[in-house]
Amino acid sequence: MDCSSLFRLDGRIALVTGGSRGIGRMIAEGFLAQGATVYIAARKAAACAATAEELGPNCIPLPVDVATVEGCRALAAALAERETRLDILVNNAGAAWGVAFEEFPEQGWDKVMDLNVKSPFFLTQALHPLLTAAGVDRPAKVINISSIDGQRLNPWETYSYHASKAALIYLTKRMAARLVRDRINVTSIAPGAFASEMNRAARDHGDAVAQAIPAGRIGEPEDMAAAAIYLASRAGDYVVGETITVDGGLVHAALGTSIDG
């Protein structure tokens, strides 16, 4: 058994949405280190271009907003102009909204559900021809970035975020059951506390957040990159429909407890 190349991504074409910062950037950087060509999509063109320049010539910016079905189709069309296949799609772009129950607005519901659930489905649908073209000798990969907030409660009133991430975990299973026949493996990663614009508590108060984590620290970029590389590479070719939790044990520590008191 030769395991020397199990985690390599040489020659593979990847697309990471929300790839200009946070978890998306961590994954993009990991893919690049393993030999992939990585397209990163983001809503802000300047940030997308700046990140691509920082990560090197094999990182290519595609500044498209995937918050709508039209945006998803536009991103798929832009990629199709450059590539004849797509080996790896990471549906990472997401949003959160936290407001008290009595005041939670429809806008906060629709924005989060559209970007966190609707967009991964319709972007994968729009990219289906390119993903199918890649799944010849080895399966293509779709990796949805969910959250431990789809598996347990957090202390904040993020109603649509909780609902969206739980929905994405089960959407992953449903999509996996259908797309595996096209040699496309769909999986999910549920991150815990990683420093990002969305998780400002981990970003700005990492030591305090780490006190509740059994591993004693927040996640590092290598932790997220490693999980994504595993699923994207030959090492993960036999994993279908599953969610890998990357949280230092936080979900298991919270089992059987009531966050609201």
φ, ψ (nearest 5 deg) of residue 197: -65, -35
φ, ψ (nearest 5 deg) of residue 112: -70, -45
Catalytic residue, chosen from 39, 159, 161, 170, is 161
Q: How many CA atoms lie within 13 A of 87 on its CB side?
A: 21
Tokens of 176: 């996996």
Do 134 and 11 touch, CB atoms closer than 8 A? no
Q: How far apart are CA 51 and CA 256, in angstroms?
A: 41
Check if 161 is active-site: yes
- Give Cα 39 to chain centroid, integer Å: 14
* 12 burial via Cβ count (<10 Å: 0-12, 13-18, 19+): buried
89: β partners: 15, 142
* 201 burial via Cβ count (<10 Å: 0-12, 13-18, 19+): middle
φ, ψ (nearest 5 deg) of residue 237: -65, -20
Q: How many CA atoms lie within 13 A of 5 on its CB side?
A: 5
Q: How far apart are CA 127 and CA 186, in angstroms?
A: 13
Q: Helix, strand or coil for residue 14?
A: strand
Do 80 and 130 touch, CB atoms closer than 8 A? yes
Q: Which positions are annotated as active-site residues?
A: 161
